[in-house]
């Protein structure tokens, strides 16, 4: 609502091509009629042949699927999609736990560092960290001494935006809209980071 009131719709890039649905109502055009031909060799009567109309929309009834089987199949597919990111998060967390000293993390991202929250938010935006990978990574960072506020800012910043998302949005929006999007994500990450630090 705020972006609409500020006139940000002018920064949306119009689509160059539009796809039409085969079931959408097409433009009406007069039917094509071919020259009349004789019905038979013995009859002088003639009958006009009209151009046949082909409809791509099927009117056959959709076969119902067992909802339990459908839910099971969907759950297994989601598990297969999430599993690589969980393993990646475990791998990164294991590397941090084994090779990065606790004193270094506590000094740069501890609760006593006032700049840890905005720094974590800025660092989190370019990273492409899925929410599934953050779960094992967050526990390791907390064990190493990272503050809850900085951790929350890192999670919101990394989950809210990434370089791949910015590249994708660049094809649809102009730079003022992308800058507003990144500003909102960064502001939310910093605000929630300080709020978490204050409450917990």
What backbone phi and psi angles, to 5 degrees, belong to 63? -75, 125
Residue 157 forms part of a structural domain: yes
Q: What is the mean pLDDT of the chain?
A: 74
The predicted pLDDT at position 185 comes to 92
- More confident site: 157 or 38: 157
Distance CA 89, CA 91 (A): 5
Residue 175 forms part of a structural domain: yes
Domain of 169, in residue numbers? 74-199
Antiparallel, parallel or unpaired: β 46-47 and 37-38: antiparallel
Residues in CB range of 96: below 8 A, 6 or more apart: 105, 137, 140, 141, 144
Query: Per residue in 14-53, pLDDT tens?
Result: 655 444 455 555 454 454 554 555 555 555 555 555 555 4
Alpha helices in the chain (DSSP H): 2-5, 67-99, 102-109, 116-124, 131-143, 148-160, 163-170, 175-199
CB burial readout 72-96, b (16+ within 10 A) else e? eeeeeeeeeeeeebeebbeebbeeb
Residue 91 forms part of a structural domain: yes
pTM of the complete model: 0.57
Residue 99 forms part of a structural domain: yes
**Region 124-153 average pLDDT:** 81
The predicted pLDDT at position 106 comes to 73
Residue 15 forms part of a structural domain: no
Residues in CB range of 35: below 8 A, 6 or more apart: 48
Residue 45 forms part of a structural domain: no
Number of domains in the chain: 1
Residue 38 forms part of a structural domain: no
Residue 79 forms part of a structural domain: yes
């Amino acid at each position: 609502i705020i972006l609409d009131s500020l006139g940000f719709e002018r920064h949306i890039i119009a689509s160059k091509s539009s796809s039409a649905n085969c079931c959408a109502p097409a433009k009406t055009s007069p039917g094509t009629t071919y020259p009349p031909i004789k019905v038979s060799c013995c009859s002088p009567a003639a009958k006009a042949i009209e151009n046949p109309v082909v409809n791509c929309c099927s009117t056959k009834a959709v076969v119902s699927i067992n909802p339990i089987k459908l839910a099971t199949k969907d759950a297994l597919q989601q598990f297969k999609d999430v599993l690589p990111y969980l393993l990646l998060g475990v791998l990164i967390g294991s590397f941090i736990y084994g090779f990065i000293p606790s004193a270094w993390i506590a000094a740069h991202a501890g609760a006593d560092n006032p700049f840890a929250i905005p720094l974590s938010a800025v660092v989190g935006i370019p990273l492409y960290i899925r929410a599934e990978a953050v779960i094992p990574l967050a526990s390791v960072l907390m064990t190493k001494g990272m503050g809850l506020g900085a951790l929350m800012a890192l999670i919101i910043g990394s989950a809210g935006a990434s370089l791949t998302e910015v590249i994708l949005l660049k094809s649809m929006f102009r730079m003022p809209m992308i800058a507003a999007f990144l500003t909102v994500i960064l502001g939310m990450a910093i605000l929630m980071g300080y709020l978490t630090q204050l409450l917990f």
